């Protein structure tokens, strides 16, 4: 299959979903026996699913950052380093750029961009604000349907007819479906009839529904002031910050088991840069589980990212907050719920008590004891998080714009 007709982002996502081979090579010709090359020397990325095809590794993709398309090498490199902490990811990108010399460069994604890309590639999300839709997503079907309507329903569509976007031949099965369709007319004939109709008075009726704020005034004489077909924004996932301190009993290596499974185990040396967990929050969204993002670094946060942080796990060490939007603990916990988890029988640190009632202090049994009380502590933590989220403005389809 011609590589020019393939979308690099879609090929990468399909290959990841199917677990098929993805190899950087120096061969422009699709060849399953071609040796694998490192990213600094590779000129093409070879996919084996749904067909064997090679795409130039510097090909631009539909992922746009700062109004510029990101190349395939940067996308693939970000996927390979999806589990790597942000400082290590940036160091690896810098090293690869040095190896590339003037032959190209690897784009370093911002935190939210990287999160959005990995979520989409994994298949956990069907849309992304950074990925432009395929040019032929609607064009092919619309173009073919228009051609059928023009033929008054008496002519058949050839299986070799071109689609509306000119990207290739029409699928024979799709052509058969189109041939069986009944001509219904276009929107002009349905809405307007045999003579033009003035619908301008509808603007006055629609103004109260299309205004962004209940009390805002919309001028019906200016169509550009109406939010016609506004894009419905997807509610962002709430974020929980985990303490990066080695003295914390809850770290990135064990907090997922604790919050999602309700059972504590001692932390180990593993340190994923990002985790996802789900939780049913009936007061926020009774229809579906809410997905949370867990991170222990804010290096790549944008200012608006802080509006989505719902909890901060802390040991009381103030150096944890030096990269936060609010470095002073007293100010930080006015905006975000603080959580401290220690061992039962041990005194709560003086620093935690000094932070006041805005930090939830809880305790669990030591590792050598039975774990039947872990679930009770976890439920207490989730109850506090849910209550705080509801107070801050989290809803089924909305998130706070400021905290």
CATH number of the domain where residue 352 is located: 3.40.50.11990
Beta strands in 66-191 (DSSP E): 68-71
Residue 189 lies in a domain: no
Structure confidence at residue 290 (pLDDT): 94
259 and 374 together in one domain: yes
Range of the domain at 95: 3-122
258 and 381 together in one domain: yes
Here the tokens at position 88 are: 């290590």
Structure confidence at residue 148 (pLDDT): 36
Structure confidence at residue 171 (pLDDT): 65
Structure confidence at residue 218 (pLDDT): 47
296 and 345 together in one domain: yes
The contacts of residue 219 (CB under 8 Å, 6+ apart) are 225
CB atoms within 10 A of CB 27: 16
Of 95, 122, 149, the residue that ends a domain is 122
Provide the b/e sequence for 33-49 (b: ≥16 CB within 10 Å): ebeebebbebbbbbbeb
Say if residues 153 and 182 touch (Cβ distance below 8 Å). yes
What does pTM read for this prediction?
Answer: 0.49
Per-10-residue mean pLDDT of the chain, 403 residues long, equals 71 90 89 86 88 90 92 93 87 90 86 88 85 67 39 41 44 68 58 60 75 51 48 80 93 94 90 91 92 92 93 95 93 95 93 91 92 93 94 91 86
Here the tokens at position 9 are: 């982002």
265 and 376 together in one domain: yes
355 and 315 together in one domain: yes
Residue 145 lies in a domain: no
286 and 340 together in one domain: yes
312 and 209 together in one domain: no
387 and 265 together in one domain: yes
Alpha-helical (H) ranges within 276-321 are none
Of 122, 140, 163, the residue that ends a domain is 122
Residue 259 lies in a domain: yes
User: How many structural domains is the chain composed of?
Assistant: 3
């Amino acid at each position: 299959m011609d590589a020019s007709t393939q979308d690099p982002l879609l090929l990468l996502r399909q290959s990841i979903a199917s677990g098929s081979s993805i190899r950087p090579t120096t061969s422009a010709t699709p060849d399953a026996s071609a040796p694998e090359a490192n990213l600094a020397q590779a000129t093409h990325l070879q996919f084996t699913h749904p067909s064997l095809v090679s795409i130039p590794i510097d090909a631009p993709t539909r992922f746009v950052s700062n109004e510029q398309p990101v190349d395939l090498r940067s996308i693939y490199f970000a996927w390979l380093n999806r589990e790597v902490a942000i400082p290590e990811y940036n160091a690896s990108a810098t090293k690869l750029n040095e190896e590339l010399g003037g032959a190209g460069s690897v784009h370093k994604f911002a935190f939210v961009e990287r999160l959005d890309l990995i979520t989409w590639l994994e298949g956990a999300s069907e849309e992304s604000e950074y990925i432009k839709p395929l040019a032929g997503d609607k064009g092919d079907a619309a173009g073919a349907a228009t051609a059928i309507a023009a033929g008054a329903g008496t002519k058949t569509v050839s299986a070799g007819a071109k689609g509306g976007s000119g990207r290739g031949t029409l699928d024979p099965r799709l052509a058969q479906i189109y041939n069986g369709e009944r001509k219904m007319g276009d929107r002009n004939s349905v809405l307007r009839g045999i003579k033009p109709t003035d619908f301008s008075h509808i603007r006055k009726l629609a103004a109260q529904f299309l205004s962004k704020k209940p009390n805002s005034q919309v001028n019906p004489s200016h169509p550009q002031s109406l939010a016609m077909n506004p894009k419905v924004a997807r509610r962002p996932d709430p974020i929980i910050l985990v303490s990066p301190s080695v003295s914390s009993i809850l770290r990135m290596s064990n907090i997922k088991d604790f919050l999602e499974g309700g059972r504590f185990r001692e932390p180990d040396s593993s340190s994923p840069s990002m985790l996802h967990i789900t939780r049913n929050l009936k007061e926020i969204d009774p229809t579906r589980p809410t997905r949370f993002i867990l991170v222990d670094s804010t290096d790549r946060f944008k200012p608006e990212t802080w509006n989505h942080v719902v909890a901060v796990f802390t040991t009381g060490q103030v150096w944890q907050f030096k990269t936060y939007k609010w470095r002073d603990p007293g100010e930080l916990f006015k905006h975000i719920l603080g959580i401290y988890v220690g061992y039962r029988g041990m005194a709560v640190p003086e620093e935690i008590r000094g932070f006041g009632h805005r930090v939830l202090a809880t305790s669990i049994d030591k590792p050598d004891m039975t774990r039947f009380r872990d679930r009770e502590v976890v439920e207490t933590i989730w109850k506090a998080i849910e209550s705080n989220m509801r107070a801050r403005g989290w809803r089924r389809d909305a998130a706070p714009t400021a905290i």
